[in-house]
Amino acid sequence: MDNYYNLREFQCATKAKHGVGALASLPDSLRELGVKKPLIVTDPGVVGAGLLDRVTKVLEDASIPYGVFDQVVPNPYVSTVGDASKQYEKEGCDGLIGLGGGSSMDTAKGVGVEATHEGDVLYWEAAKRDLERRIAPLITIPTTAGTGSEITVWAVITDPDRKFKFNVGGPLMSPHIAIVDPELHMTMPPHVTAGTGMDALCHAIECYTCHFSQPHTDAVALLAIEYCGKYLRRAVGNGQDMEARYYMAMAAHLAGISYGTESAGAVHALTQTLGGIKPEIHHGPAVGATLGAFMEYNWIGRPQKFRRVAEALGVETTGLSDREACLLGAQAVYDLAEDTGIPSLAELGVKEDDIPKLAKEAYGDPQTPGNPRDIDIQGYEWMYKRCLGCL
Ligand SMILES: [Fe+2]
């Protein structure tokens, strides 16, 4: 049920600049923040796609000096953030540009924490303590339409010692400015468009249905779900479809706003712990492979909301029972995953023997309390078995 008996808060401290060609606003954005020399935090894929060059050209044309850290890895480690922080200090930078997907933007957020706090990101794990001050000035520029990290208040970092992905952040983690330019998304290959798009859809569905949902986040989540239903196939099928790219970028962005400051639900509990144990499995495909089972399991927790999800995905529900409508909503997600080429969990490398450990870890994840249906380890085992075709 909605959590309206308690005092709730919503805030979004990030200025969003969006539209085709929005990248051109980067120099003005740096001036707004008083940043003289930013460190660009990015990854080799972004460099290879020529996107770093597009950003550095804008800076050079405006005579703005910059540093570059381009060694971000998927599921970035505490040490990835530490290496970038060393470069930030060495280059005498006073602000950050997080350029890329979630891993690059999250690494930049982590550097922003370390630049303004004593101790590393591991010390500031959200489950242990709250941040004490706003992070260093940060401009986020997503090159995928998925994580919404350009506007979320969280970074997901991997602790290799615990084989665990932990969250760091909270309201003080808000990026200062997010620049969302769909022109930077045109080179994304179909499988990346698909995986990241399913991640955006999942953020919206989980946040709309979870125990921490509230009207502010419900409003944006529903539109994000609708955009994913309308535009994800087109963006995967034709990477040059600017309309589809823009609305998928905004779907991810709105879904990021819906993430709020609390936890989501079982898919992110499951995929975050899976990514910690099997770091070779990327987040987007894992989410896309498990979202349908999440809906099948969870709809009885909040039938009216799962019915609205089905409607936002284009399911005609007139005259249908809640059960019929909600399960058609789950089917719509399975169809979307299939049409966009999302691999199955088995194809991603999960085996039946892995289930007991993976389910136990997922249950212990901090995202679990938000799940719309009461869930225990057996519930996670059901979802894993469903995804592996054992049920
Ligand atoms: Fe996600």
382: nearest Cα among 362, 364, 365, 359: 359
Lowest mean pLDDT of 201-205, 259-263, 338-342, name the range: 259-263
pLDDT of 264: 80
pLDDT of 2: 67
Which is it for strands 67-69 and 95-100: parallel, antiparallel or unpaired? unpaired
Tokens representing 4? 């309206």
Higher-confidence position of 132 and 10: 132
Tokens representing 70? 């381009």
* pLDDT confidence band for 290 (50 / 70 / 90): very high
Tokens representing 58? 């804008």
Q: What is the whole-number distance in angstroms between the Cα of residue 304 and the centre of ligand 1? A: 24
Q: Checking phi first, is residue 330 left (phi over 0); if not, alpha (psi -120 to 50) or beta?
A: alpha
Place of tokens 């309206």: 4
pLDDT of 354: 95
**Coil/strand/helix, residue 262:** coil
Lowest mean pLDDT of 175-189, 236-250, 256-270, name the range: 256-270
pLDDT of 1: 61
Counting Cα atoms < 13 Å in the Cβ hemisphere of 104 gives 27
| Predicted confidence (pLDDT) per residue in 359-369, tens digit | 999 999 988 99
**95 bridge partner residues:** 38
Residue 41's H or E segment, with its range, is: strand 38-41
Amino acid (1-letter code) at residue 186: M
Q: What is the whole-number distance in angstroms between the Cα of residue 225 and the centre of ligand 1? A: 14
* CB-based contact 263:212 (threshold 8 Å): yes
Q: What is the pTM of this model?
A: 0.95
Q: Give the mean pLDDT of 260-264.
A: 71
pLDDT of 3: 74
132 phi and psi angles, rounded to 5 deg? -105, -20
| Predicted confidence (pLDDT) per residue in 178-192, tens digit | 999 999 999 999 999
pLDDT of 261: 67
Instruction: State which CATH number among 3.30.390.10, 3.40.50.1970, 3.40.50.300, 3.30.930.10 fits the domain covering 15-185.
Output: 3.40.50.1970
Place of tokens 């602790």: 159
Exposure class string for 282-301: b at 16+ Cβ within 10 A, else e: bbbbbbbbbbbbbbbbbbeb
Boundaries of every domain in the chain: 15-185, 190-387
Q: What is the whole-number distance in angstroms between the Cα of residue 92 and the centre of ligand 1? A: 33
Q: Give the mean pLDDT of 86-99.
A: 98
Q: Is the pLDDT of residue 262 over 80?
A: no
Q: Give the mean pLDDT of 312-335.
A: 98
Q: Is the pLDDT of residue 158 over 70?
A: yes
In whole angstroms, give the CA distance from residue 106 to residue 354.
28
Q: Report the share of the chain in percent with pLDDT over 90.
A: 88
Q: What is the whole-number distance in angstroms between the Cα of residue 148 and the centre of ligand 1? A: 8
Q: What is the whole-number distance in angstroms between the Cα of residue 209 and the centre of ligand 1? A: 15
Q: What is the whole-number distance in angstroms between the Cα of residue 295 and the centre of ligand 1? A: 16
Amino acid (1-letter code) at residue 274: L
178 phi and psi angles, rounded to 5 deg? -115, 130
CATH number for the segment(s) 190-387: 1.20.1090.10
